Structure 1
Amino acid sequence: MGQKVILLADDDSDDREMFHEALELVDNNISCYSTLNGSELLEKIHTLEKAPNLIFLDMNMPVMNGWQCLEILKRDERYRDIPVIIISTSSHQKDMETSIQLGAVCYLVKPNDFRDLIEVLKVFTENLCTGIKNAIANLQLSNPKIIFT
């Protein structure tokens, strides 16, 4: 399939750094581009040579939050089929349900443990091209406290 691309929008620099470190340990052949909010992600996606394989959107960001960005992505025929994962520190059921209703493939409560983040990213990246929805469903069964589908 060639080079895999992931986009991440998260306003927290520590979370972005941890995400990149974990992703590099999981698969250093994936290009990951980060932005500080949904608006920047929408600008960045237009500059890429190919559409990303997966998008992670923090729910709470300034300028444009993850839900607002998700709504725009899902209305655009160029990007509506890209799997989007909403990430947040919130574990409120309503936030999870809203994310899924807006078109996210799942809602990920940001893991506090670096090893947990590595394991989650490993599942996502290993299944980018072969069925991420099934992999997410299996992950949700094994770790229902951080994955909601």
Structure 2
Amino acid sequence: MTDTKAQHIYLVDDDEDDQFLVQHLIKEHSPEAVVDILEDGEALIQALDQTDKLPNLVLLDLNMPRMNGMEALERIRANEAYNDLPIIILTTSDSEQDRKKALQLQASDYLVKPGSGYQMNQLVSAIKQNWL
């Protein structure tokens, strides 16, 4: 994207370590990016309903309390207003069943969180190149 405006990203994850690492890496690759951290799917639905301008990207974990990522994805995709919103599942689940279900629910991509900081850095770099 050649737009010089700040990219707005919703990071939806209940794990504080993952929140910190992903936010740090996004800021490293895109210092101008605005990252809103949301704790679960319910918070994501509320944020989307209350905003006047949709984020450029949603990074959505699957395993969260109250409303998990799969439930949130299904609710979001049921609303035509969000058809063009890129939603990437970013999760520790490498289950092929989860991957298939998320893609059937129209996730834009399904990425498994890597085990090392270096690999996560590479993943965030790829997200920036492909989605922002």
Structural mapping, 1:10-29, within 5 Å: 10-29=13-32
- The answer to which structure, 1 or 2, has the higher relative contact order (CA under 8 A, 6+ apart) is 2
What TM-score, normalized by structure 1, do the two folds share?
0.80
Task: State whether residues 35 and 41 of structure 1, in contact with CA within 8 Å, keep that contact through their aligned partners in structure 2.
Answer: yes
The residue identity in structure 1 corresponding to 2:31 is: N
Unaligned runs of 5+ in 2: none
> Is 1:125–2:114 an aligned residue pair?
no
What TM-score, normalized by structure 2, do the two folds share?
0.90
2:60 equivalent in structure 1: 57
Structure 1 vs Structure 2: percent identity of aligned residues? 32
Helix, strand or coil at the partner of 2:42: helix
1:146 equivalent in structure 2: none
Aligned match for 2:71, one of 68, 72, 76: 68
Aligned structure 1 segments of 4 or more residues deviating by more than 2 angstroms: 45-49, 126-129
Q: Distance in 1 between matches of 2:75 and 2:95?
A: 23
Q: Distance in 2 between matches of 1:94 and 1:9?
A: 21
Q: Distance in 1 between matches of 2:60 and 2:130?
A: 19
Structure 1 residue 49, shift from structure 2 partner: 4.1
Task: State whether residues 74 and 81 of structure 1, in contact with CA within 8 Å, keep that contact through their aligned partners in structure 2.
Answer: no
Task: State whether residues 25 and 118 of structure 1, in contact with CA within 8 Å, keep that contact through their aligned partners in structure 2.
Answer: no
Q: Distance in 2 between matches of 1:82 and 1:120?
A: 20
The count of residues paired between Structure 1 and Structure 2 equals 129
The residue identity in structure 2 corresponding to 1:75 is: A
